[in-house]
Every structure is written in C-alpha cells, then in structure tokens.
Structure 1
Amino acid sequence: MGLLSNRIDRRSLKPGDHIYSWRTAYVYTHHGIYIGDDKVIHFTPGRGREVGSGTMLDLLLVSSGPAQSQITCSICNQQNQGHGVISSCLNCFLAGGVLYRFEYSVNPAIFLAKARGGTCTLAASDPAEVVIHRATYLLNNGFGCYSLFKNNCEDFAIYCKTGLLVIEQGTIGQSGQAVSIIGGPLAAVLSTPLRLVTTNVYGMAATAVGVYCASRYAADIGMRRDVVKIAVEDLTARLATGRLRVVDTGGAVPPAPAPAR
C-alpha cells in the first residue's frame, strides 16, 4: 500500500479484494468486492444508481463523475438490480475511473497520514472465501435500505470483509468517507472557539486538523465499540424482520428472531 495512493494494476487483483474508484475529483468513491472472473459485487440505492441522499449532493456526484460509455454492456444489462446489491463487470464498476484497493490492518501512523477516510482501516479482514460468500449471499438477499451516511457502498464492502456491523441505528455507519464528509465541518466548528483566545490562523488550522484526525481514528471500524460480528445469514434474517439492533448481552450476539408466519 502506498502512503499517498492505493492505486493498483488489474493484474494485482485477487478474489475477495475490496476495491474502489473515485467518482469525482476526490470527493466520492464507489466501493465493491471483487469476486474473480472480472466480476464485482457492489451496493447501490437501486437500479444501478450510486448515490441516494435526496439532496443536491446527488446531482453533484453524478454530474462530476467520469464519462461512461454509451454502449450497453451485454453482461451487466441482464442483471436484476431491484434490491440494490448488484453484480457488474469490472469495466462497468469502474465507469471510466481508476482502480484502487482498500487496505485492512493498516498501521495507525499510516491510517492517520491518509488525507481522508474511505481508503483503509485498522480492522482486519477475514479470509477471501468468507468475504466472497458474504458478498454473493447478499447479492441474492439484499443489504437493507441504502443510506449515504449510514448504509452505503463502503459499509457493504467493509461488512463483507470483516463481518462487523454498527448496531445502533441512530449512528453513522462504518464508512470512512462518510466520517470524512462529516468530520471536516465538525473540526472547523470545534476549532472556532480558538478565535476567542488567538488570531493565529496556523494554530486554528492545526487544531482543526487534529480534531479531524482524531474523529477519523475514533470512528474507524477497527476502533469502535458499537459494532458486533454478525453472520451474513443472521444479518439477512434480522433485516427481514426489521430487528437489526442488538441489545447489550455482554458481548454475545443473540439469535435472529424467527420469521413471522
């Protein structure tokens, strides 16, 4: 992994890799799981769309993304895209962008050195065969409702790689890029009181950067305490019954409720 970039060559791809591609000028990335044979499983709001905030941000992300080919892909055009988890060929997934690999078990110093989130994590990845099983299972069963800040494409890929899921419904998901979007303005707000005691712009900037880095570190899936490891079969059962939230059981994950008859 490079300090400044996780860019890789296609020949370096391995089944089970968590990959991503920038959709704008380093504003938004789309994430997925490479399963081999030039196929990627990824999560969208449905019908192949990649954003779904319901705000002007959607227009920005779509309009500033790389130009896509006008030729219909004979492979990807035949898929059922109803539930949001879809399978695409690598070319369609990249949509004209550059290929990057998301890194796991990174050194904390490297994690903090990254300019923004959404490129690596302190958490460890599970074996490739487990990752591919989760991704293919969710392709057939869905990953719940898409939410830009709580349940997006990066959340999907991180879950496939780790089996970890944020269990408090009112909090932000696992996504590092969501933390970056929120953390920047938060850092600026928290550093504002310094203006009452100093006019040194460099001091305020340094504080804002420190707050931003601290928020990214604390919110990383490898550091959070509001996550549990859930088997993919258990996850889909909980989603089907609307009971994803896990109560405090001393660290144990209670069994999924039986489907309603």
Structure 2
Amino acid sequence: MGLLSNRVTRESLKPGDHIYSWRTAYIYAHHGIYVGDDKVIHFTRHGQEVGTGTALDLLLISSGPAKPRESCPTCTAPQEEHGVISSCMNCFLAGGVLYRFEYAVTPALFLAKARGGTCTLAVSDDDDIVVHRAKYLLENGFGCYNVFKKNCEDFAIYCKTGLLEIGQSGQAVSIIGGPLAAALSSPLRMVTTNVYGMAATAVGVYCASRYMADIGMRPNVVKVPVEELTSRLATGLLQVVEPQIPTNIARQSPQLVTQ
C-alpha cells in the first residue's frame, strides 16, 4: 500500500481485512470483509452490488461487471432479502483489482487520498471480532440497502469498527462531492474571479467535506454490539431520521434514533 494506491496481493490478506475493488470506469467500488479460505462477506441490494431504486441505477449498474453466463460452482446464488452474502474471491472481484481499505490513517494521508472510500481515520477492532461481526450479519442481516446511507462500504466499516455510521459513505461523498464543492464555492466568486483561485477553493471545500464526513471524525456515530444491532433493526428500534434542510445551508447529517 502507498500514497497513490492500496493495491495488495491475495497472499498478503488475512481474515478480518476490509477489501474492495473498483468497477469499470472507477465510478464506485464494491467493499467486503475477507474471512479466510478465499471467502468474502459483503452487503448487496437483493444480490445486486448497487441499487437506489432511482434513475441513478442506470449510471451505477452500467459501471458494474457483466453477469456471468454460468453460475460459480463454489458460490450459492443469494436468496436472502437482507443482501449480506458470502462469495469466493473471484466472484467478489468480478475481474477487478484487489485493494485493501486502510484504517487509523493520519489526517495528512487521508487528505492526500483524492478519492474517498479508500481509508479512514477510525481505528479497527481486532481481526477475530471483525470476522465474528461479518459472519453474524451473514446469518442475521444488515437491514435495508441504501447506496447513500447504508451500502457495502458502510457494512465493511461497521464490521471493522462496530461504529454505526448514519449518512453518506466515503465513496458517496466522492461521487457527489465534486459538484457539491463547486456549488458551495460559487458564492466565493466575489472573493476571487481567478480560475485557479476558484479551483483551489473547490478542492478545499471538497477535502473539508470528506474530512468532516469520515466516520473517525463524525460526532453522530455510536458503537453498537452486533447482536444488539440486528435485534434493533428487526424490531424497528434503530432508524435514521432525516433532518429538515434549511434553504440557505448545506444538508445536515441525519441522526441516529434508538428507542
């Protein structure tokens, strides 16, 4: 691993590693937890890697791998509605390159990574705890998939840290962060009309938004035991409350509500 790439070899993996693979055109990455024996546990939407139920699916799914003509002899087709599945490494990668997500990185390294969804400031728990969470959720589910609020990256981060993140994940910030940064920096055109100054401002806003949205920095995260998480999800005692959006400021973070 290094500053520009988190690419690793299969031989370097150990159970409990958070891995990911970029899909075609690098629009998004698919994340999972390596649990050993060439197996990866990951979170999908009814067996599909992405899905929002909106027109955005056309963009996201078009960047995904083509479905194989023949089923994998070692992987069972997903049947559970919760979408947490176990796949062999080849099916998980779908022809892509293997990368390992980094934890407990320094702020400087975090900001140096231009693309979100590759590292976090948060600290990972021990590998055996990570594997336990992933296997438990494989049996009990992780609730409803949402590409912006609870996706494969959020699943892997929860398995690694036990922290429940409510809101946009790292790669979601990257997908919409560029246009958002440009929009937010536009009022600053009164300060500078120089194109380089505006570009620097947009980059600064984008980096700041990524930094503040990271699970290692967010104040609205809680550490929830995996057994308690699944029971609360099943009974509806754990939910996301969407905030009201003031017309003159950016979107606020959703809040976690437990009853």
Instruction: Specify which of 174, 179, 188 is matched with residue 180 of structure 1.
Output: 174
Partner of 2:41: 41
Partner of 1:72: 71
Instruction: State how far apart, in whole Å, the 2-side matches of 1:36 and 1:187 are.
Output: 40
> 2 CA distance for matches of 1:103 and 1:79?
28
Q: Distance in 1 between matches of 2:212 and 2:45?
A: 27
Structure 1 equivalent of residue 109 of structure 2: 110
Give the drift of 1:53. Answer: 1.2
From 187, 210, 222, the counterpart of 2:204:
210
Matching of residue 164 in structure 1 with residue 158 in structure 2 = no
The number of residues matched between the two structures is 243
Query: Which residue matches 2:30?
Result: 30
Identity %: 76
**1:38 alignment partner AA:** D
AA at the equivalent of 2:238? L
Is 2:139 aligned against 1:140? Answer: yes
- What does 1:79-118 align with in structure 2 at a 5 Å threshold? 79-118=78-117
User: Aligned with 1:76: secondary structure?
Assistant: coil
Amino acid at match of 2:207: C
Q: Are the counterparts in 1 of residues 6 and 118 from structure 2 also a CA contact under 8 Å? A: yes
Amino acid at match of 1:106: V
Q: Say what the alpha-carbon RMSD is for the aligned residues.
A: 1.8
Amino acid at match of 1:179: V
Mark the CA change 1:78 to 1:191 in structure 2 (over 3 Å): closer, same or farther: closer
Partner of 2:245: none
**In 2, Cα distance between the equivalents of 1:59 and 1:67?**
14
Q: Deviations over 1:191-229 (max 9, x none)?
A: 111323432010000000000000100110001110010
The answer as to 2:226 corresponding to 1:227 is: no
Q: By how many angstroms is 1:243 displaced?
A: 1.2
State how far apart, in whole Å, the 1-side matches of 2:98 and 2:70 are. 21
State the Cα distance separating 1:184 from its structure 2 match.
1.8
How many Å apart are 1:21 and its aligned residue?
A: 0.5
Q: Report whether the alignment pairs 1:60 with 2:54.
A: no
- The answer (yes or no) to whether the contact 1:24–1:61 under 8 Å persists in 2 is no
Matched residues in 2 for 1:224 and 1:60: separation?
29
TM-score normalised according to structure 1 size: 0.88
Give the aligned partner of residue 12 of structure 1.
12
- Unmatched 5+ stretches in structure 2: 241-257
Could you tell me which runs of 5 or more consecutive residues in structure 1 were left unpaired when the two chains were aligned.
247-255
The alignment partner of 1:118 has SS state of: coil
Superposition deviation, residue 78 in structure 1: 5.0
